[in-house]
């Protein structure tokens, strides 16, 4: 992936769809405590969260073309003074942002679930300190839920940025529930920081310390609950190319266990091939990146 010379800024690219708040049917979407409160965004931060990137993530909510949102920021244990000051500045900018402080750190999924319990709206949007939302993100995802009433979760395509906010690529995820289910045994076919859920399907399995969002999607698919991706670039995110390598052996084992469960979504003849690629997954962290990309292309041709 090549690094762009310019830095990413929300709204600098057209979203690709002409939208208006008037297109929403608030009654169909089941408004929150306030009639037009439809979205509760949840952001979990901890001692490792970067103040500037966290600020960029929260500030990207302010120009949302759908303004019926709130944001719950969960401080998962003590955080740095710089981050605490950044959060207070963001609260001062917009009273829809609330901070919840946990005295002791929980597993990321537990902290997120705790934040969801404090939310008021019928849709839960994921946020990340490493991701920035486009101004039309919330509106387009709500329209997807309105257009497809059966879906329980909705992601988006993603622009890839580095830690200095330079654009380094883009990722077009599969769009339809059937295509997403087909890819789940191979990798997570969504960007977690772009996901929005119907509230009743938003809680992550707390048993997973790593990869709980991916495990949750697999459980939804196995239960017959459809998930889709909006085919628009509505989030910019600093996504690792090999997320299974991010948290060491424990994270790798969690990814492997999730993929093994997801194999049941494949036709019988594809399952042995999928299991082979799952069991060689630990080698991904040892291979040069170019070699791993070649292995992935072979995998995609066999199972795609």
Comparing 31-45, 112-126, 265-279, the range with the smallest average pLDDT is: 31-45
Q: Looking at beta carbons, which pairs linking 29-36 to residues 24 or more positions away fall under 8 Å? A: 29/122, 29/123, 29/142, 29/145, 29/146, 30/122, 31/68, 31/122, 32/68, 32/120, 32/121, 32/122, 33/120, 33/121, 34/68, 34/120, 36/68
Domain boundaries, the chain: 21-242, 249-303
pLDDT at 32 over 70: no
Averaged pLDDT for residues 120-129 = 96
Q: Percent of the chain at pLDDT above 70?
A: 93
pLDDT digits 0-9 by tens, 199-250: 999 999 877 777 899 999 999 999 999 999 999 999 999 987 777 777 777 7
Is the dihedral angle over the CA atoms 57, 61, 65, 68 positive or is it negative? positive
Local confidence band at 35 (pLDDT 50, 70, 90 cut-offs): low
Mean pLDDT, all residues of the chain = 89
Interval 28-54 mean pLDDT: 85
Q: Are strands 153-161 and 227-237 parallel, antiparallel or unpaired?
A: parallel
Give percent above pLDDT 90 in the chain.
Answer: 66
Q: What value does the mean pLDDT take over residues 4-20? A: 66
Q: Report the distance separating Cα 304 and Cα 299, nearest Å.
A: 8
**Digit-coded pLDDT (tens) for 271-293:** 998 999 888 877 877 888 888 88
Query: Which SS3 state, helix, strand or coil, does residue 158 take?
Result: strand
- Asked whether the beta carbons of 98 and 87 are under 8 A apart, the reply is no
- Alpha helix (H) residue ranges in 118-232: 137-147, 177-183, 212-222
Q: Is the four-CA dihedral 248, 249, 254, 260 of positive or negative sign? A: positive
Q: pTM of the predicted model, to two decimals?
A: 0.91
The answer to whether residue 33 scores a pLDDT higher than 60 is: no
Q: What is the pLDDT of residue 1?
A: 47
Q: Which CATH superfamily is domain 21-242 in?
A: Spore Coat Polysaccharide Biosynthesis Protein SpsA; Chain A (3.90.550.10)
Least confident of 80-94, 152-166, 172-186, 275-289: 275-289
Q: Among the residues of the chain, which ranges form H helices?
A: 26-29, 51-59, 81-93, 108-117, 137-147, 177-183, 212-222, 248-262, 271-279, 289-303
């Amino acid at each position: 992936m090549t690094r762009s010379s310019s830095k990413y800024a929300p709204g600098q690219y057209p979203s690709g769809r002409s939208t208006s708040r008037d297109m929403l049917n608030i009654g169909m979407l089941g408004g929150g405590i306030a009639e037009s409160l439809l979205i509760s965004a949840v952001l979990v931060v901890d001692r490792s969260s970067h103040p500037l990137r966290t600020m960029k993530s929260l500030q990207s909510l302010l120009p949302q073309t759908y303004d019926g949102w709130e944001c719950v920021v969960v401080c998962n244990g003590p955080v740095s003074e710089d981050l605490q000051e950044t959060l207070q500045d963001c609260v001062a900018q917009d009273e829809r942002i609330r901070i919840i402080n946990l005295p002791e750190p929980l597993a990321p999924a537990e902290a997120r679930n705790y934040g969801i319990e404090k939310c008021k709206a019928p849709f839960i949007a994921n946020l990340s300190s490493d991701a920035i939302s486009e101004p039309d993100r919330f509106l387009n995802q709500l329209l997807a839920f309105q257009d497809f009433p059966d879906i329980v979760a909705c992601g988006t395509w993603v622009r890839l940025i580095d830690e200095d906010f330079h654009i380094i690529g883009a990722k077009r995820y599969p769009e339809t529930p059937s295509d997403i289910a087909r890819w789940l045994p191979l990798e997570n076919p969504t960007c977690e920081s772009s996901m929005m859920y119907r509230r009743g399907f938003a809680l992550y399995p707390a048993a997973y310390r790593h990869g709980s969002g991916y495990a949750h999607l697999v459980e939804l698919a196995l239960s017959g609950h459809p998930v889709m991706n909006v085919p628009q670039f509505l989030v910019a995110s600093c996504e690792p190319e090999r997320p299974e390598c991010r948290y060491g052996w424990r994270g790798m084992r969690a990814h492997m266990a999730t993929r093994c469960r997801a194999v049941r979504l494949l036709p019988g003849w594809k399952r042995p091939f999928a299991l082979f690629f799952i069991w060689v997954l630990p080698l991904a962290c040892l291979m040069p990146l170019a070699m791993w990309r070649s292995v992935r292309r072979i995998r995609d041709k066999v199972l795609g």
